Structures are given as C-alpha cells and as structure tokens.
C-alpha cells in the first residue's frame, strides 16, 4: 500500500540529494581550483620555454622569457587589451628583471638559436647573446666555434666545483675555526674573571693558533676565488651593450631556443632537484629550500612527539579517572575553546612564557657562564626549535585530547568489563585494552594536529623561525638535535617571499613553488600517519568500532 504521502515525498528527497550534492561540488571545485592554480604555477617555475627577441613599437628590443599575460589595468572590459610581462634578467643593467609590454605595440618576435639563458649567483638571471668565452686556461672560444657550447658547459661545471670548494672552506672549515675561537674567548674571559693565570695563558695561545689558522684559510679561500675569476663570458644584451659575466657567477646556462623536449625535461628536473636539495640564494628568491623543508619536517615531527603523550595522558585522566561532574564539564569546554583561540595568541604566549620565562630560567640555571662571558647572548632565552614545537604542541593539544577522549569512549563497554572481570586493574585495562583499541582514533587526532601544526606560520614568527638560518637544527655535531637553534620553515618562507621580498616579480613564481612544496609535505606527513593508522585498524578488523 503505497500511500500518496510517500509518493509526494520522493521528489522532495530528490531535491535534497541535488542540493547537498551541490554543496559537495562547490567544495570540491574550490579545492581542485586552488590545487590546480598552485600546481600549474608552481611547476611552471622550473620549465624553460623558448625565449624570443621582441621588437617593440617604440624602438626597444627585448630578449626575455614570457612570464605572464594580463588585461591592461584600465582597459575596457568590452574591448580588453592585453599586456605581457617578460623576464629580461640582467638586473644590474636594466634596473629590473621584469618588463611590461603592451601587446598591441609588439612589432614582432623571433627566436634566434644563439640566445643564452643564465642563472647567476647574484643579480638574478640573464638572457643574452654570447660572443666569446674566455676559458680558465686563457684560451678564447668564439661563439661561432663548434666547441663553444661544450666548453661553456665544462667551464660552468668547473665554476660550480670551485664554488662548492669555497663553501666548504668558508662555511665549514672557517666556521669550525670560528666556533672554536668563540669557545676559547669565553674560556679566556672566564679564566680572566677567576684569575687563573696559567689558564689565561693557555687560552691566549689557543686563540693565537686559531687566528693563524683562520688567516691561512682566508688566503686559501681568496686564492681559490681569484683563480675562479679568470674565466669569463662576453656577450651582448638586447640593446647591443657589451656584458661580461664571470663564470664564477654562473650557476647554470642553457640555450632556450636550441633545447629539444628531452633537454627541457632534463633542465626541469635539474632545477627541481636544486629547488628541493640546495640552499637558497638571492634573498631566498632563488636556489633551493632544503633548510626550510628540513626545518618544517623536524619541527612538525617533534611537535607531534610532544603533543601526543601530553594529549593522551590528559584525555585518559579526563575520561577514566576524573570525577564526572560540573567541574569536569567546565574543563572540557575550556579545552575545546582552546582550539578556537587565534594562533598568534599562542605565539605571544610562547614568547612570553616559553622563551622569556622558561628559556630565561634555563639560561640562568645551566648556561650562566655562557651568558656572563658571551655578551649576554642567550641560548634558550631566545626563539628556537624547542619553543616553536612546544607552542604548536600547546596549540594542537585540544585536537588530540578531544580525539583521544572520543576514541576511549568508543571502546565497547564489554571489552572494558571483560578486562576488569579478569582481574585487571584500572591502569592495566587502560594500557592493555583501551589504548590499543583506541590507537586508530588517537592517531586521527595526531594527524589533524600535524596538519594544523605544519601549516601554521603566525606563532612561529615570534618563537624561533627565521628568514635565513646558518645551520640546520639537526646535524652531525653532538648533541645532534639542536633544540635551541632557530630554523627555516616553508610556511614562513611563503610569507617572506610574498610580502617581504624586495623583488616581488622574481619572488612570485617561488611563492607558488614553495606553497606547492608545503602542501606536498603536509600531504606526505598525513599519508604516513594514515598508513600507520590503517595498519593498526587492520589489527582490530571486525571489532565493533
């Protein structure tokens, strides 16, 4: 007996299906749109398109890579006029690496094969027409010679090796001497302060030998650098001006109009590799992001390691031990509201409490020598990895607590009773039965916490993330994990590139690439945690939770 009411309710149900489906479509559309924007823009950074020589109406000639095309500001919507942005490079000559050109004023463009693109250590990229290569052995190779391309690439590789050697010299060996010197100076000041004459003499001697070694290394470095200056590339820019680029400045060179697809793909991956595994240069707008990737990863993992035990223990107390009543309800509401507090507030708290109070006390207690004899330079009394992780751990604590409480509550009552009836104590029941059974739920909380923590920027700026950190938070020097060090972070990197960069046009593509990387990193971290969770779930398959 199908009543009329059930008939008339069917179409209404259909309408709701469409309506709710629409919500999903809008949501999905926004997510996919955002991802597509980031992925396309982020990936195009590494792609090397052909580079034209452009003639403009006003007599200018431009050599440059097309960066973007947009509607001219102020042009009519009914009759849009476009303008093109070219990356012309050679900032030291042109004053700016990017130029806007009215599309209507373009007279024509050609793609001569001899155009050379350069990535340089300083002043950004360059596009020019090479004339001669002055090799390190003094020989000159004209561009007309068939050996030009090959010997150019050889010289670039040699210059790269020299640069690496210089980094090794200045950063590592001179850096080691510097830090030894620092320690010796502190020891000297301490000895002077305490009037230990022989100790003073010893430290003086040590400092003298260190200074001698420092001077040696400096001359060695200068020698290497000078030898690297010999090789040069001579060329002409679009306007016909002569340009000389020392090869020591060249990171990478390519002929954008000669490359075949395979060559472009190889260049793409070479740039991608540099982006992921190298260190940044040029105010972070070029080079790689290794320190930032590493910093983000270490900080997020460390934060998860902090927040998980705290959150789980708190949740166990709230759910299993605390007397259920109005006070507990208030505590719960407070914990939940903590999740809604703006993250910058946590940053301020972290700075005020963790950095100044906790860090300050740690310095007073354990590093008083350091403070006294090293111009009051704080160790833990300033932002660092530990305080960043703690601040974010505090921020994400409610997520873990709520997830754990729910997971504990979802363990079937029968299982709890069975354990107690078997003579297990409350703690044994929690440890043996409740925690393993709720592990998947707890991990869901940790995943959410990680996702939120990895993408957070605002509080980190206050408690220890910097634009450029000289050292990584984890290295081969004992104690290996340096909790007091400042570090770089992808989220902050995006902010810094996007809003603080002197050359916003040059930074723009990097913003997308960095964003893409941050998203990939967060996704990878989550996938890892989800994988762990699924393995745990598989162990409890068939259970009624």
Partner 1 sequence: MTATMNPNPSRIQVRPATERDGRRDYISIRDYGFWYGQKQALEGISLDIPERQVVAFIGPSGCGKSTLLRNLNRMNDLVDGIRHVGDITIKGRSIYDPGLEVISLRRRVGMVFQKSNPFPKSIYENVVFALRVMGVRDRSILDEACETSLRKAALWDEVKDRLQDSALGLSGGQMQRLCIARAIANRPEILLMDEPCSALDPIATGKIEELIHELKEQFTIVIVTHSMQQAARVSDRTAFFYLGKQIEYDTTEKIFMNPSQAQTEAYISGRFG
Kindly state the DSSP code that residue 405 receives in the 8-state scheme.
H
Ramachandran category for residue 55: left, alpha or beta (phi over 0 → left; psi -120 to 50 → alpha):
beta
- Which of 48, 51, 133, 433 is close enough to bind partner 1 by CB under 8 A? 433
| Minimum CB distance to partner 1, residue 330 (Å) | 19
Tokens of 153: 């690439």
Closer residue to partner 1, CB minimum distance, 26 or 418: 418
Closer residue to partner 1, CB minimum distance, 10 or 323: 323
Counting contacts by CB under 8 A, is residue 435 touching partner 1? no
3-state helix, strand, coil in the chain (%, to 5): 60, 15, 25
CA 175 and chain centroid, separation: 24
Mask 483-522, x = binds partner 1 (CB under 8 A)? ----------------------------------------
Closer residue to partner 1, CB minimum distance, 261 or 324: 324
| Minimum CB distance to partner 1, residue 336 (Å) | 23
Counting contacts by CB under 8 A, is residue 421 touching partner 1? yes
Supply the DSSP string of 176-219, one letter for each residue. HHHHHHHHHHHHHHHHHHHT-HHHHHHHHHHHHHHHHHHHHHHH
- Which of 230, 338, 362, 420 is close enough to bind partner 1 by CB under 8 A? 420
| Minimum CB distance to partner 1, residue 329 (Å) | 15
- Which of 100, 148, 214, 540 is close enough to bind partner 1 by CB under 8 A? 540
Kindly state the DSSP code that residue 104 receives in the 8-state scheme.
G
Counting contacts by CB under 8 A, is residue 70 touching partner 1? no
- Which of 112, 436, 470, 528 is close enough to bind partner 1 by CB under 8 A? 436
- Which of 74, 326, 423, 479 is close enough to bind partner 1 by CB under 8 A? 423
Counting contacts by CB under 8 A, is residue 33 touching partner 1? no
Counting contacts by CB under 8 A, is residue 326 touching partner 1? no
* Residue 6 to residues 2, 10, 419, Cα–Cα distance (Å): 7, 6, 49
Supply the DSSP string of 266-302, one letter for each residue. HHHHHHHHHHHHS-EETTTTEE--HHHHHHHHHHHHH
The count of chain residues that interact with partner 1, using the rule CB under 8 A, is 24
| Contact present, 283 and 501 (Cβ < 8 Å) | yes
| Minimum CB distance to partner 1, residue 417 (Å) | 6
Counting contacts by CB under 8 A, is residue 410 touching partner 1? no
Counting contacts by CB under 8 A, is residue 425 touching partner 1? yes
| Contact present, 257 and 50 (Cβ < 8 Å) | yes
| Contact present, 66 and 82 (Cβ < 8 Å) | no
Kindly state the DSSP code that residue 465 receives in the 8-state scheme.
B
Tell me the C-alpha distance between 238 and 64, whole Å.
9
Counting contacts by CB under 8 A, is residue 541 touching partner 1? yes
- Report the site for partner 1 in 291-310 (rule: CB under 8 A): none
Closer residue to partner 1, CB minimum distance, 211 or 432: 432
Counting contacts by CB under 8 A, is residue 428 touching partner 1? yes
Tell me the C-alpha distance between 149 and 133, whole Å.
10
Tell me the C-alpha distance between 485 and 379, whole Å.
8
Counting contacts by CB under 8 A, is residue 148 touching partner 1? no
Counting contacts by CB under 8 A, is residue 417 touching partner 1? yes
Tell me the C-alpha distance between 545 and 100, whole Å.
61
- Which of 21, 142, 175, 412 is close enough to bind partner 1 by CB under 8 A? 412
Binding residues for partner 1, rule: CB under 8 A, are 324, 412, 414-425, 428, 432-433, 436-437, 539-543
């Amino acid at each position: 007996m199908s009543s009329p009411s059930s008939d008339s309710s069917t179409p209404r149900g259909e309408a709701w299906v469409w309506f709710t489906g629409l919500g999903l479509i809008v949501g999905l559309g926004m997510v996919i749109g955002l991802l597509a924007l980031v992925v396309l823009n982020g990936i195009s950074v590494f792609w090397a398109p052909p580079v034209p020589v452009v003639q403009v109406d006003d007599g200018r000639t431009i050599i440059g890579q097309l960066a973007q095309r947009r509607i001219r500001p102020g042009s009519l919507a009914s009759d849009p006029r476009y303008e093109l942005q070219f990356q012309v490079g050679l900032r030291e000559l042109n004053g700016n690496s990017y130029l806007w050109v009215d599309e209507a004023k373009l007279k024509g463009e050609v793609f001569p094969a001899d155009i050379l693109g350069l990535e340089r250590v300083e002043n950004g990229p360059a596009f020019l027409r090479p004339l001669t290569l002055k090799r390190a052995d003094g020989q000159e190779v004209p561009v007309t010679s068939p050996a030009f391309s090959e010997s150019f690439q050889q010289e670039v590789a040699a210059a790269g090796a020299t640069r690496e050697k210089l980094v090794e010299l200045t950063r590592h060996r001179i850096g080691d001497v510097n830090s030894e010197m620092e320690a010796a100076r502190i020891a000297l000041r301490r000895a002077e302060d305490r009037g230990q004459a022989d100790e003073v003499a010893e430290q003086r001697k040590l400092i003298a030998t260190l200074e001698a070694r420092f001077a040696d290394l400096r001359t060695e470095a200068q020698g290497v650098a000078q030898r690297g200056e010999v090789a040069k590339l001579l060329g002409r820019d679009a306007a016909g001006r002569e340009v000389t680029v020392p090869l020591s400045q060249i990171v990478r060179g390519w002929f954008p109009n000669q490359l075949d697809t395979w060559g472009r793909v190889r260049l793409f991956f070479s740039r991608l590799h540099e982006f992921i595994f190298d260190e940044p240069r040029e105010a972070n707008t070029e080079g790689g992001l290794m320190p930032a990737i590493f910093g983000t990863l270490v900080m997020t993992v460390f934060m998860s390691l902090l927040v998980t035990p705290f959150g789980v223990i708190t949740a166990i107390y709230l759910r299993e031990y605390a007397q259920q009543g109005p006070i507990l309800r208030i505590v719960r509401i407070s914990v939940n509201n903590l999740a809604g507090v703006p993250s910058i507030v946590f940053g301020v708290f972290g700075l005020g409490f963790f950095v100044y109070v906790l860090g300050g006390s740690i310095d007073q207690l354990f590093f008083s020598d350091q403070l006294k004899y090293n111009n009051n330079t704080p160790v833990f009394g300033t932002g660092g990895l530990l305080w960043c992780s703690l601040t974010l751990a505090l921020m994400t604590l409610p997520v873990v607590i709520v997830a754990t409480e729910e997971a504990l509550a979802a363990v079937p009552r029968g299982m709890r009773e069975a354990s107690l009836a078997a003579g297990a104590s409350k703690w044994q029941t929690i440890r043996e039965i409740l925690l393993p059974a709720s592990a998947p739920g707890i991990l869901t909380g940790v995943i959410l916490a990680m996702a939120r923590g990895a993408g957070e920027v605002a509080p980190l700026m206050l408690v220890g993330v910097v634009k450029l950190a000289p050292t990584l938070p984890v290295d081969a020097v004992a104690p290996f994990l340096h909790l007091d060090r400042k570090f770089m972070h992808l989220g902050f990197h995006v902010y810094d590139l996007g809003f603080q960069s002197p050359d916003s046009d040059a930074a723009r593509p990097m913003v997308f690439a960095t964003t893409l990387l941050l998203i990939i990193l967060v996704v990878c971290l989550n996938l890892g945690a989800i994988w762990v969770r699924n393995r745990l779930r598989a162990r409890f398959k068939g259970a009624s939770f």
